[in-house]
A and B are shown apart, each in its own frame.
Chain A
Amino acid sequence: MILIDVEIYNYSKKRYELFEAIVDTGATFCAISKHIADEMGLPLHGPIHLWQVNGPLTPTKTTLKIRCGKSEHHVEGVIINIARDYLRPAAPDEECERPLTPHPLSSRVIVGKNFLEKLSEEERKEVLSYLVS
């Protein structure tokens, strides 16, 4: 897993917030969870239909203002509504077959292919080099 730092604009507080981001080259868009998007007052642009493993997913589109290094980009993102119980780790005695670790979007965002395409070649190489370091 490649983890990088990005700054995303918080429309509610009118400032940037630092996020740990999972780099996902297989994701078309960036993704952020609904509880964080609500807190940051992200703009809502209506639904979009995406293919997931077992069927379509219909999240809400948004625009993320992302700063990475010295550059800033306006990138399309999707807002994912995660069930509240999945935001915490599974308890040892809990009858649940989900992974023990909490949902990745509970404390992170995903930066997808559309974000990587905005970067310069040099920046993109630097991000992807984290995989082999």
Chain B
Amino acid sequence: MGVESRRWINENLHKLREKYPNKTIMVCDGRVVKVFDGATDPIHVNEVAREICQGKDWSYTFVSKVEEEYIL
């Protein structure tokens, strides 16, 4: 599971917001390995990850252009 990749995302979120606004990014081995437009179906993200992150620590996140603040 993506413990290290999640940590990397959390640490780099500000930079990622500038580079990948409103994209879903897949992270593996401390780098972005795949970019999807918008919020992406997680099942599809998992299918892609099985191909390109085989057995490695990976994670994904939707990078909102602005911080998501309208969630109750």
Q: Is A104 an interface residue (CB 8 A)?
A: yes
- State how many angstroms separate the Cβ of B32 from the closest Cβ of chain A: 15
Q: How many A-B residue pairs have CB under 8 A?
A: 81
Q: Are B49 and A18 in contact (CB under 8 A)?
A: yes
The residue of chain B having its C-beta at the shortest distance from the C-beta of A18 within the complex is B46
Question: Of the candidates A100, A104, A107, which one forms a contact with B24 in the assembled complex, judged by CB atoms under 8 Å apart?
Answer: A107
Q: Are A100 and B65 in contact (CB under 8 A)?
A: yes
The residue of chain A having its C-beta at the shortest distance from the C-beta of B13 within the complex is A3
Q: Are A39 and B6 in contact (CB under 8 A)?
A: no
Q: Are B61 and A20 in contact (CB under 8 A)?
A: yes
A-chain residues with CB within 8 Å of residue B22 when the two chains form the complex:
89, 101
Chain A interface residue count, CB cutoff 8 Å, equals: 34
Q: Are A102 and B1 in contact (CB under 8 A)?
A: no
* C-alpha spacing A25/B17, complex, angstroms: 26
* C-alpha spacing A113/B18, complex, angstroms: 33
* C-alpha spacing A18/B61, complex, angstroms: 11
* C-alpha spacing A133/B50, complex, angstroms: 30
Chain A 96-122 interface residues, beta-carbon cutoff 8 Å to B: 99-104, 106-108
Q: Are A4 and B6 in contact (CB under 8 A)?
A: yes
* C-alpha spacing A64/B39, complex, angstroms: 22
Q: Is A80 an interface residue (CB 8 A)?
A: no
